[in-house]
Amino acid sequence: MARLFVRLKRIVLLAVIWGLAVAALCRAASEYMEHRRLARSVAEMKSQYAAELSDYARLLHEGERLETDEKYQVDLLKKRFGYTRPDETPIVVLNGQ
């Protein structure tokens, strides 16, 4: 009877140890998946940051150019607002509708 009790204790102890090991593995897998999700999120944010930084640099360059380059200013005014210099004749082309 004592041997049976010892064997039963060993089986229960082994089951508890395996249960704890499985629980630890599940927790580790969950943490790993969360880490992977966060790593993807960080990579996406870095990519978005780089794109926005590039756009900002382009806008900054355009702003500096607007302040200093008179030819660029005139070209931009002509494109957007139909600006003409006093010695130029504006020509408006209409669609034949």
- The proportion of the chain whose per-residue pLDDT surpasses 70, expressed as a percent, equals 98
Please state, in angstroms and rounded to a whole number, the distance separating the CA atoms of residues 78 and 97. 25
Q: Could you read off the pLDDT of 49-89 as tens digits, one per residue? A: 999 999 999 999 989 988 898 888 888 888 887 778 778 77
Check residue 86 and give its pLDDT: 79
Please state, in angstroms and rounded to a whole number, the distance separating the CA atoms of residues 84 and 74. 9
Please state, in angstroms and rounded to a whole number, the distance separating the CA atoms of residues 12 and 77. 85
The structural domains of the chain, with segments of one domain joined by +, span: 2-81
Task: Report whether 95 contacts 89 (CB < 8 A).
Answer: no
- Dihedral angle over CA of 74, 78, 83, 85, nearest 10: 50
Q: Could you read off the pLDDT of 12-34 as tens digits, one per residue? A: 999 999 999 999 999 999 999 99
Q: Which residues contact 84 (CB under 8 A, 6 or more apart)?
A: 78, 90
